[in-house]
Structure 1
Amino acid sequence: MSNIKLIIEERAADIGKFLVGRLLPFRQKRMIGPFIFIDHMGPVKLNEREQMDIRPHPHIGLSTLTFLFEGSIMHRDTLGTEVEIKPGAVNWMTAGKGIVHSERTPDYLRHEDKVLHGLQIWVALPKHLEQMDPEFFHFEADQLPAWTVEGIEFKLVAGEAFGHRSPVPVYSRLYMLEIKSKEKRVLSIGEHLFGESGLYILEGGIESEGNHFGPKQILVAKDSALCEFTIQANSTVYIFGGEAFPEERFIDWNFVSSSKELIEEAKVKWIAQKFDKIKGDEEEFVPYPVFKK
């Protein structure tokens, strides 16, 4: 019997100047463990007249995880953070009771051709921490645990797995794991995982019980303890998941919470422009979207 509970295909989503491949939420699966939102961004080729300019916008009740494969993004937020994220590094921003950030092409790249490619991920906070003070952390690629077993390269982006722990300060039991292989290999890793588990194929493919799966798909496991598959040569996959929360989570635009009332308060506050401003990036903002009925 197959251990694959659900196959989620990447769907195009318009986030302004970009089309991204939306993976979560999905109508049949709103969350995988504490992971509530995953966008595959790019690869997008931009010329000297095209920039990434995601204007200041708010979040509550979640942590964002930005992980790039190519390109560069300048992150600014209302904590005073100004940091450039490059491929392999991790930006981890915890919104808690509220934060505003912007994501733009760095100044030194705005007059040349460039490529942008990566994952934008939201991780919901436990109920008792949804109103915590906001935080921001940045970790370079060489700060993340990495190891090789029989030619297979592992990197722990966030959380805990295989006896390793990422320095990213997560607030629930979770894992996000990068696996790369230049050769075809059988992987049996279920004993190292827990909770709900999803597998995202970035490049290459995997085989499971006679079925082949290629890029731009998330496979959701029925039981993470039974996670076994064959990874094809020259493949890169990401496995993520963890323990699910007992309460439902609601999403309204960029706001996540177990409380609809808290989301409504944040919405009213943003429309009234009562969130803090980003120093040096105060002139623009993303308005709350008006959804057509």
Structure 2
Amino acid sequence: MSNISLIIDERPANIGNFMVGRLLPFREKRMVGPFSFIDHMGPAAMSDHENLDVPPHPHIGLSTLTFLFEGEITHKDSLGNNVVIKPGQVNWMTSGSGIVHSERTPDYLRTTDKMLHGLQIWVALPKHLEQMEPEFFHVEEQEIPHWEENGLKFKLIAGEAFGKKSPVPVYSPLYFIEIKSSSRQKLNIGDDLFGESALYILDGAVESEGNIFEPKHILIANNAKLCEFEMHENTTVYIFGGEPFPEERFIYWNFVATDKTLIEDAKTKWLNQSFKPVPGETDFVPLPEQSHFTKK
């Protein structure tokens, strides 16, 4: 029996003035472990008059992870953080009871040609931490555990695996791993994984049970412990997952919660503009008109 239970294609989605490839949630698989949302940004070549501009918008009940391959983004939030995210760094923002942030092309790049390419990820919080105080952490590239083994390059971007631990302060058992190959290599890493597990192919190709899988796909494993595959040369994959939560999650816009009441309260709060504002920002993303919930 195949260990691949589901294959998810990247689907186009618009996040304002920027198109992305949406990977999660998917109608047949809302979450993988605590991971509830993944967008693949780019690669996008932007001219000297094109810029990323996502005005202030709120989040509750989750942590966001931004990881860039190319380009730079200025992150500003209602805690007063103002940070430029560069490739290889990790931005980890935990919304808890509520946070507002904006994402824009840095001022010094706005009149030049530029590239933008990366991943934006949401990780749901455990129920007892849904209403925690918001936090923000910026982790430099050199702080991320990285090593080479059997001709492969590994990075443990978040969580714990392979006997290592990332400094990114996660709130439930999970892992987010980068693996790069320069030549064909077989991997059997199931013993280092747990919970639900999935593999995203960024570049190159992956072979499993006689099938070849190419970029812009997520492969969902039936059993993380049976995670075996072959990476073709010049391939980059991301393996992510962890322990799933016992409770279902509701997702509405940028809000994730175990209780619809928390989402309704956040909607009202945003409509009334009573979230703490982002210093220096004056505009905002309005609440979507269509009001619907997506279950886990």
TM-score by length of 1: 0.99
Structure 1 position 247 matched with structure 2 position 247 = yes
Q: Which amino acid aligns with 2:285?
A: V
Query: Corresponding residue for 2:214?
Result: 214
Residue identity opposite 1:289 in structure 2? P
Alpha-carbon distance in structure 2 between the residues aligned to 1:220 and 1:205: 16
1-structure distance, mates of 2:181, 2:275: 45
CA distance in 1, matches of 2:29, 2:67: 23
| Aligned-partner Cα distance in 1 for 2:26–2:254 | 16
In the other structure, the counterpart of 2:139 is: 139
Distance 1:125 1:155, change over 3 A: same
TM-score (norm 2): 0.98
Q: Name the aligned partner's letter for residue 287 of structure 1.
A: P
1:81: Cα distance to partner?
Answer: 0.3
| Residue number in structure 1 paired with 2:290 | 291
State the shift of 1:44 in Å.
Answer: 1.0
In structure 2, the partner of 1:168 is 168
Offset at residue 29 of structure 1 (A): 0.3
Deviations 1:223-247 (A, max 9, x none): 0000000000000000000000000
How many residues align structurally? 292
Specify the alignment match of 1:152 in structure 2. Answer: 152
What is the correspondence of 1:215-234 to structure 2 with a 5 Å cutoff? 215-234=215-234
DSSP-derived class of the 1:108 partner: helix
CA RMSD of aligned residues (A): 0.9
CA–CA separation in structure 1 for the residues paired with 2:101 and 2:184: 41
What is the percent sequence identity of the aligned residues? 66
Aligned to 1:39: 39
Report the Cα distance in structure 2 between the residues aligned to 1:125 and 1:62, rounded to whole angstroms: 5
- Structure 1 residue runs of 4+, over 4 Å off? none
For the pair 1:91 / 2:91, whether they are aligned, the reply is yes
Structure 1 residue runs of 5 or longer lacking an equivalent are none
Equivalence map 1:64-213=2 (5 Å): 64-213=64-213
The secondary structure found in structure 2 opposite 1:263 is: helix
For residue 142 of structure 2, give the secondary structure of its aligned residue in structure 1: helix
Amino acid at match of 1:246: P
Q: Provide the C-alpha distance between the structure 2 equivalents of 1:156 and 1:221, rounded to a whole number of angstroms.
A: 19
1: CA distance between counterparts of 2:19 and 2:280? 27
Instruction: List per-residue Cα deviations over 1:186-215 (Å, max 9, x = no partner).
Output: 000000000000000000010000000000
Listed one character per residue, the Cα deviations across residues 81-140 of structure 1 (whole Å, up to 9, x for unaligned) are 000100010000000000000000001001100000000000000000000000000001
- Tell me the equivalent position of 1:16: 16
Aligned to 1:277: 277
Output the CA distance in 2 between the equivalents of 1:79 and 1:195: 33
Correspondence 1:264 to 2:264: yes
**Residue by residue, what CA displacement relative to the aligned partner does 1:142-196 show, whole Å, maximum 9, x if unpaired?**
1000010011000000000000000000000000000000000000000000000
Question: Which residue of 1 is the match for residue 2 of structure 2?
Answer: 2
Shift of 1:14: 1.2
Return the alpha-carbon distance in structure 2 between the equivalents of residues 271 and 49 of structure 1.
31
User: Residues of 2 paired with 1:2 and 1:50: CA distance?
Assistant: 45
Match of 1:26 in 2: 26
Amino acid at match of 1:215: P
Whole-Å separation in 2 of the counterparts to 1:131 and 1:214: 39
* Inter-partner Cα distance in structure 2 for 1:205 and 1:274: 47
Q: Distance in 2 between matches of 1:192 and 1:62?
A: 25
Q: In 2, Cα distance between the equivalents of 1:181 and 1:158? A: 20
